[in-house]
Every structure is written in structure tokens, then in C-alpha cells.
Amino acid sequence: MYPHGRSLVARMKDKPFTILGVNSDSAEAYKKAIKEQKITWPSFWDGGTTSGPIAREWAVTSWPTIYIIDAKGVIRYKNTRGKAMDQAVDTLIKEMESAPAQ
């Protein structure tokens, strides 16, 4: 996810787009990962455990788990990765750009 995430964020830098993490590491491991993997996007920290409150509410039992949410806050894709993730994000961007401005 990290190199792919970095390139996706770079490609979308002028678009209304973000990666938002929910991290289940210990605080130390999380800080280390951010530094070493050059992670620039924000993350919720889920208390240092895989059974943290956010993972529990979202019934996450395997990692990584990915949801793609559109600008209106609607879940549009689940566990879409790699190229398919890029295509999904492109589709949603196009959808936004072609929708009449409100």
C-alpha cells in the first residue's frame, strides 16, 4: 500500500482526494512506520490493537481492509486494490467533475 498510496496521493494532489488510515499498530511502531515508509496522509490511531474501537465497529478482521467513500460520504467500493483502486478513484473523480455544481 505505501508506494502505491504515495503515487496515488501524488497523482491526485490537485483533486478532492485523501487516503485516511486507521492504524492498529502500537504507537511506537506506528510512528516508526510513518517515518520509514514516508506516509504523508493522516491516520486514526486505533489504540494500538487490532481490536480497537474503530476496527470493531467496522467489523474489520483482516488487514488491510479498504473502503472507498465518495464525496457525499457513501461507501462505493470495498477491498478494491492495486489498479482497480486507481480506476475506482478515477471513476469517482469523473463523477464529481461531471455532476452539476451545487
Partner 1 sequence: MNRHLQNLRYFFHMKLKIFLLAITTASHLAIAQTPAQTSPETEINDIINAHRTELFQFMKNVRALPEEKKEEFRQSHSPKADQYVSALRKIIDTNLKDPAILNAYGWIAQYTRGTGLNASDYAHLTEHYLNDPKIRDLLPPLIRTQNKEAHDFVQQVSEKSSEKEIRGHALYALAMNLDGNEARVDEYNTLIEKIINDYPDLKIRGRHVAKNLKTERDAAINLAIGKTAPEIIGADVDGNEMKLSDYRGQIVVLDFWGHW
Footprint of partner 1 (CB under 8 A)? 1, 5, 8, 15-25, 27, 29-33, 37, 42-46, 50, 53-60, 63-78, 85, 89, 92-93, 96
Strand partners, 1: none
Identity at 11, one-letter amino acid code: R
Residue 62 CB, nearest approach to partner 1 (Å): 9
Greatest CA separation for the chain:
45
**Which of 50, 98 has the CB closer to partner 1?**
50
CA torsion sign for 29, 32, 38, 40 is positive
Residue 98 CB, nearest approach to partner 1 (Å): 14
